[in-house]
Amino acid sequence: MTGADAVDVVVLGMGPGGESVAGELASAGLSVVGVESGLVGGECPYYGCVPSKMMIRAGNVVAEALRVPELAGDVQLTPDFSTVARRIRSEATDNWDDTVAAKRFTDKGGRLVRGTGRLTGPREVTVLTSDGGEFTFRARLAVVLNPGTNPTVPDIPGLTNTPFWTNREAVKAESAPKSLAILGGGPIAVELAQAFTRFGTKVTMVLRGSSLLTREEPEAGELLARVFRSEGIKILRNREITAVTHSSDKFRLKMSGPAAGGASVSQLSAEKFLVATGRTPALQPLNLAKAGIDWDGKTAPTIDGQLQLTDGLYLIGDAAGAGAFTHMSMYQGNIVAGHILARHAKQPDRGTTESHAVPNVTFTDPEIGAVGLTEQQARDTGLSIRVGYTDVAAATRGWIHGAGNQGFIKIIEDTKTGVLVGATSVGPAGGEVLSALALAVHARIPVATLKTMIYAYPTFHRAIPEALAQLK
């Protein structure tokens, strides 16, 4: 096609994985074009992982201070959300300015094009820039798609005409609202619910189903619900929001489902309304059909071990379906960069992707870490399993820790192979304790070997051998 610029690689979407691929390939001397319509770095550093964890860290400090009377004396505390809001604005996001990230890429020799890219052929990308310009690039070696996701916004009458929050608006808040209604019970919902509660916000969670964190072990959601009740978070289960209105700086939600007194309809009012009902892959602008790809994003994509949709067309990140996590996107980016360099520079290939041991952590208090299969998932795949469970609070370190020590470790063993296929670690530093279990699942270390290890005393990970001893 005339008018197309020939380059080595085009990376469409400069979130964590895309930025990683583009930067490595540019550093290796390839001509690389990175295309981004938003902020270089993507959701994680500006609206997700980093700012939300700053909020959570601040809230956890408040919670620890409130535990002083039980453990160490008296304390006077005046939580101030503006402190963490300033930190998010200045330290985490540069006031939502990606100049540093963009320069990090261009300093490596890459070319950054700001705009919305779409496929116009198997290895051809056309970009419509924000100022109305248009560029077309033909890639000699590869096109890497890293489209990311956007917050899912359900079709609720009246919602789109209101100033509701997604995670993006929530992390930009400069003060904690007096009251907050949250639709959803997944990781984003529970993390922000607890963080705002600890700064004095009255939080009500509205669940379509009956449980928090439905993708985790049920014990995790049950424990978190008990903790939330103790902190004053109200959870409304099995509800549907049927209408949303906003006036006089207040949201009014009309709901169907069980309510007090047996009524079928209930109302809820709150100063702010957070919609946290999952993420939707941003596939529509990509024009996949132009590359011969028939996929609407509703099912798992057909990709090979190097994450190729077709030869030289790669898909990484949330949309690839192996886990919507920054660490997964960067892991996939590493595989793709290695595959491209192996073809171009005869460097050693980095193998194929493995997704049997993808770890994830929900950064509530207690932290909830998980890797591999849940008990139900293992049973659904037809495995013969043994399950081990131990209470962290009752273990030595939990007893020493005192206030805030809720948690457990649950492990799933495949009896045929004698290795762990899944594990959950809940408790103080639950995500850190998970690392040992993630290694065991990833490397398929025999349970017999895990039982012979020496575990430092008295640590939280000392609960691992106790869970191993309970396998049955």
Over the chain (472 residues), what is each successive 10-residue block's mean pLDDT? 82 97 97 97 96 97 96 94 97 96 98 96 93 94 95 96 97 98 98 98 97 98 98 96 96 83 73 96 89 84 93 94 92 96 82 93 98 98 98 92 96 98 97 98 98 96 96 95
Residue 113 annotated as binding?
Answer: no
Contact yes or no for 358/442 (Cβ under 8 A): no
Distance CA 19, CA 140 (A): 19
C-alpha closest to that of 197 among 361, 56, 343, 96 = 56
Contact yes or no for 352/344 (Cβ under 8 A): no
Residue 318 annotated as binding?
Answer: yes
Residue 188 annotated as binding?
Answer: yes
Distance CA 177, CA 168 (A): 16
Distance CA 469, CA 453 (A): 13
Residue 117 annotated as binding?
Answer: yes
Q: Name every residue whose Cβ is closer than 8 Å to that of residue 25 and which is 6 or more positions away in sequence.
A: 8, 9, 11, 32, 337, 340, 341
Residue 416 annotated as binding?
Answer: no
**According to the model, what pLDDT value does residue 1 have?**
41
For the chain, give every residue range classified as CATH 3.50.50.60. Answer: 5-41+98-150+280-345, 159-277
Distance CA 282, CA 20 (A): 19
Contact yes or no for 337/307 (Cβ under 8 A): no
Residue 190 annotated as binding?
Answer: yes
Contact yes or no for 317/329 (Cβ under 8 A): yes
Residue 16 annotated as binding?
Answer: no
Residue 428 annotated as binding?
Answer: no
Token pair 């919670």 is at which residue? 63
Domain 359-469 is classified in which CATH homologous superfamily?
Answer: FAD/NAD-linked reductase, C-terminal dimerisation domain (3.30.390.30)
Token pair 């073809």 is at which residue? 343
Please provide the size of the chain in residues.
472
pTM over 0.85: yes
CATH code that applies to domain 5-41+98-150+280-345: 3.50.50.60
For the chain, give every residue range classified as CATH 3.30.390.30. Answer: 359-469
Distance CA 466, CA 313 (A): 47
Q: What is the pLDDT of residues 238-292, one digit of tens each?
A: 999 999 999 999 999 999 987 555 545 589 999 999 999 999 988 888 999 988 8
Residue 418 annotated as binding?
Answer: no
Q: Which two structure tokens, joined as six digits, stand for 87?
A: 């930190």
| Neighbouring C-beta atoms of residue 294, cutoff 10 Å | 7
Q: Which two structure tokens, joined as six digits, stand for 430?
A: 């639950």
Contact yes or no for 24/32 (Cβ under 8 A): no
Domain 159-277 CATH (choose: 3.20.20.80, 3.40.50.2300, 1.10.150.50, 3.50.50.60): 3.50.50.60
DSSP 8-state class, residue 44: H
C-alpha closest to that of 145 among 280, 42, 306, 13 = 13
**According to the model, what pLDDT value does residue 259 have?**
56
Q: What is the pLDDT of residues 38-47, one digit of tens each?
A: 999 999 999 9
C-alpha closest to that of 7 among 33, 35, 34 = 33
